[in-house]
Structure 1
């Protein structure tokens, strides 16, 4: 009897050892899937805003991550974009920063001092940044620190009314090898107006950001590369302002957008405008147009090709007490598989070099043209617009100066000199 009991005891020990081994293996597998499992139970507060359906896409990604990492709970705090800065400032000054936040190019500079340097968690600056398109690097690498990770990217580009172009017998460029110069493009627009029945050749969003596309195409910039002085009043800046005026005064563009604030989206939707220079997010916005055919073509060039990059990023914060887990989740979001899923399902553009061509449910070829625009973008574009502690202080001055040029109240040179003074003042204030 004693011998029988001894055998049973030994068997029970083996069973317990086997069960323990299986549990450890399962735990290790979960940890390898996401990088954060197997540690303490943590909750990551993730401040989030949505422009479209990307919030639902992110919720599914979070669900997958939590399944692979059962010790991690991600609390998505959804807010309106207009409340983002206030929400983050309140949490940070109250000593309770979130683990993570979705950040746009407008806020990324404002919170860079509170951001966790991800470099040590993601294999170093060079290894991490080489995955993403070069033109957005100035936004998220500051003083050799990785202060955020790119999630999606935006670009300015050219939408056109295919119905009007076809009626006029005008074919748009189908390859980067045969794109128009601005003068050639303007001549094509005139033909679409005369033979296609377009009321206007094109509309252009009433923002300094969109106008700066022309500035970079003329080879200019707003601020010197070292950030010490204004350069917008250089020859290129003056030429860009003069050409923008020409597009208005010769009737190619209506003055109602830049003078009266008329919505360019509505004008294009009316079917009476040949082209619209806007951001790639209008692919989703224009998806429901049924009264005419439309598409995306390559922007013209002046001295060079260029767009203006933007986008959204994910930032982790110092002082959250879950920095390691937050960094692990960011690394997961940055992988090709997860980032591609997020952008493809959200109808966004991926910042990853290996995800320029995604299998979108709509507009696949259009997104590829926007990606090509970004790949041919001046480095000055992101260098300028990443300076978000400076740019907001002079952007209205620039917009007002351009309006005065279009109206003929001042010359392009005088307007850009005036704007340059506002830029230099903003730079000086930023150094205090």
Structure 2
């Protein structure tokens, strides 16, 4: 992707330096190395736990524990609490915006092999003071949920979503739905959905250059953007 803003639901995987070194020390004292992983996506907790079990079977002597974030608590709050308690995780999944607050506690990953394979701009949010301190990835994506009954009626038969291959085709479908007397597009009114999953699309599409997007946001804050 050309821009860091192109990442949908950007998440960051980082390693805290203290628990990482502690895990290395444990390897010398016992046969089992414990790795703790903070999961900020409750929807995939069970899948990660299953993956951790498989990982353990394939890597005897390594115990991978998936630590969930409680409902209503941000990943940064969870990590901060664990760090204050002296039990910081080895790996953590969090939003890119939280990295600056943890930059002094994260390991330098600049020499990892995968760094050279990263697409342009994808490491921008992961790089602070010229050091790559996290690995970017996504577990979400944008999509359209459609009402089959409404579409079948609008198209006068069984609707085939695979038939829509272009933006023009999608626009034509919207027009058919509207002609049938139904609103063609409904946007979720929930604050978290509007702010985190919808409005950011309008922001990121201002340019494929991160600096230009940042400037747009600054102008927006100052009231210099004309939406007319």
Tell me the TM-score normalised to structure 2 length. Answer: 0.61
* Deviation (angstroms), 1:205: 3.2
Aligned pair 1:168/2:154, yes or no? yes
Aligned pair 1:88/2:79, yes or no? yes
* Deviation (angstroms), 1:208: 2.8
Correspondence for 1:357: none
Correspondence for 1:99: 90
Unaligned runs of 5+ in 2: 1-23
Find the structure with the greater CA-based Rg. Answer: 1
Aligned pair 1:66/2:81, yes or no? no
State whether residues 222 and 232 of structure 1, in contact with CA within 8 Å, keep that contact through their aligned partners in structure 2. no
Counterpart pick for 1:140 among 121, 126, 130: 126
The 1:211/1:50 distance shift into structure 2, 3 A limit, reads closer
Unaligned runs of 5+ in 1: 1-35, 243-432
Query: For the residues of structure 1 that align with 2:209 and 2:221, how far apart are their CA atoms?
Result: 9
Query: For the residues of structure 1 that align with 2:152 and 2:199, how far apart are their CA atoms?
Result: 28
Query: For the residues of structure 2 that align with 1:63 and 1:215, how far apart are their CA atoms?
Result: 40
Correspondence for 2:195: 208
Query: For the residues of structure 1 that align with 2:214 and 2:203, how far apart are their CA atoms?
Result: 18
Count of matched residue positions in the alignment of Structure 1 and Structure 2: 189
* Deviation (angstroms), 1:227: 6.5
State whether residues 178 and 184 of structure 2, in contact with CA within 8 Å, keep that contact through their aligned partners in structure 1. yes
State whether residues 35 and 91 of structure 2, in contact with CA within 8 Å, keep that contact through their aligned partners in structure 1. yes
Query: For the residues of structure 2 that align with 1:233 and 1:86, how far apart are their CA atoms?
Result: 27
The 1:97/1:104 distance shift into structure 2, 3 A limit, reads same
* Equivalence map 1:340-379=2 (5 Å): none
Secondary structure of 2:185's counterpart equals strand
Counterpart pick for 1:153 among 112, 129, 139: 139
Aligned pair 1:115/2:106, yes or no? yes
Deviations, residues 128-152 of structure 1 (Å, cap 9, x unaligned): x25xxx5744343444433222453
Q: For the aligned residues, what is the CA RMSD? A: 4.0
* Deviation (angstroms), 1:192: 1.3
Query: For the residues of structure 1 that align with 2:124 and 2:188, how far apart are their CA atoms?
Result: 24
* Deviation (angstroms), 1:93: 3.7
State whether residues 45 and 76 of structure 1, in contact with CA within 8 Å, keep that contact through their aligned partners in structure 2. yes
Q: Which structure dedicates a bigger proportion of its chain to helix?
A: 1
Secondary structure of 1:165's counterpart equals helix
State whether residues 126 and 136 of structure 2, in contact with CA within 8 Å, keep that contact through their aligned partners in structure 1. yes
Correspondence for 1:179: 167
* Deviation (angstroms), 1:103: 1.9
Judge which range, 221-230 or 87-96, deviates more: 221-230
